[in-house]
Amino acid sequence: MNCNELMRHLNAYLDGELPALVRAEAKMHVAACRSCGIVVETCRSTIQVYRQQHPPLPDLLHRKVMDNVGRRLRPPAAQ
């Protein structure tokens, strides 16, 4: 994996959503590349600070928000 590939997978990498092989490649790259290591640690720190300042939404509200986002992202129905 190179820097550009890591950046394309960054969100999934941080969220732990990459397939095992891709995650292993990303982890090796982050360990070997100082620049990408800094980016990953900065993003993790930013996420941690954000979560400390903004607790998660209650489940019902979270579902309503996600349903609303899903409706807005769906293409309009064919007429």
- What is the total count of domains within the chain? 1
Residue 19's pLDDT is 96
Q: Give the domain range for residue 25.
A: 3-73
> Does some domain include residue 79?
no
Positions of the chain with pLDDT lower than 50, given as ranges:
none
> Does some domain include residue 44?
yes
> Does some domain include residue 11?
yes
> Does some domain include residue 37?
yes
Q: Taking the complete model, does pTM exceed 0.75, yes or no?
A: no
Q: Which long-range contacts (CB under 8 A, 24 or more apart) does 7-16 make?
A: 7/39, 10/39, 10/40, 10/43, 13/40, 14/40, 14/43, 14/44, 14/47
> Does some domain include residue 41?
yes
> Does some domain include residue 50?
yes
Residue 35's pLDDT is 96
Residue 50's pLDDT is 87
Residue 33's pLDDT is 97
> Does some domain include residue 39?
yes
> Does some domain include residue 78?
no
Residue 56's pLDDT is 82
